[in-house]
Amino acid sequence: MNGSHDLILPHGGYRRLRSFAVALAAYDGTVIFCERFVDKRSRTHDQMVQAARSGVQNIAEGSLASGTSKKTELKLTGVARASLGELIRDYEDFLRQNNLPVWDKESPRVRAMRARLAGKLTKAVGVSDGADRSDKSDKSDKSDKSDKSDKSDKSDKSDRSDVFDEPLLAALRALRVSTAEVSANIMLCLSHQASYLLKRQMDRLESDFVQNGGFTERLYNYRKEHR
């Protein structure tokens, strides 16, 4: 089964998406960041965690819906990206309100971190070096890999090794010990990269939908062929 003429196509493979892994790291990272730097009783704490969670959950839900509705998958992927956009604003606001800098996306430390998270640097260039050499924001490079076999949501250690590669694990480790400035800029980098990967994912979904149609067209052709 699962041939080109099947009615319900393969779906639910979100655990292998790089966008899911990076968004999940942004979610876990947001939990760590908020526990350290944001008042637990504030609305901002809950809103940031929920925005990060929404990014992850909508990727998963869209993938699971894709077998019968590419339109729903595209819509939910867009919702995931919008949630990450909200999260990015929260980190920028945090830095501004605390008189801390948003690191320039072309600075050496940011370019190094982006390359590291995109899998272009094999040595630990400093995602875990904290304030010094490499952490931060913006859209990644080309990384759009559909790898990673994962196993879970959120922060259970037994599942993390299946979801996160070493650069993502290093970023999460750095969040536990770095200053507020470094931590917020690490989170900006993760969030921007996840958003960038989701934009590329949406472009592919849109192109595929235009070329191949959706479930309605497939259902019509399927019924014609089986009469």
Q: What is the per-residue pLDDT across 28-77, written as a single tens digit (0 to 9) for each?
A: 999 999 999 999 999 999 999 999 999 999 999 998 887 777 888 899 99
Q: How high is the pLDDT of residue 69?
A: 76
Q: Is residue 155 situated within a structural domain?
A: no
Q: How high is the pLDDT of residue 161?
A: 54
Q: Is residue 104 situated within a structural domain?
A: yes
| Residue 195 reports pLDDT greater than 60 | yes
Cα angle: 70, vertex 75, 76; to 5 degrees: 100
Q: Which two tokens mark 60?
A: 């998963």
Confidence of residue 213 (pLDDT cuts 50, 70, 90): low
Q: How high is the pLDDT of residue 144?
A: 41
Task: State the average pLDDT over residues 161-183.
Answer: 93
Average pLDDT, the chain: 78
| Residue 23 reports pLDDT greater than 70 | yes
Q: Is residue 135 situated within a structural domain?
A: yes
Q: How far apart are CA 115 and CA 125, in angstroms?
A: 9
Q: How high is the pLDDT of residue 206?
A: 82
Q: Is residue 110 situated within a structural domain?
A: yes
Residue 126 DSSP class: S
Residue 192, SS3 per DSSP: helix
User: Structural domain of residue 26, as residue ranges?
Assistant: 14-139+164-222
| Residue 1 reports pLDDT greater than 60 | no
Q: Is residue 123 situated within a structural domain?
A: yes
Q: Is residue 194 situated within a structural domain?
A: yes
Q: How high is the pLDDT of residue 209?
A: 66
Least confident of 88-97, 113-122, 164-173, 182-191: 113-122
Q: How many domains does the chain have?
A: 1
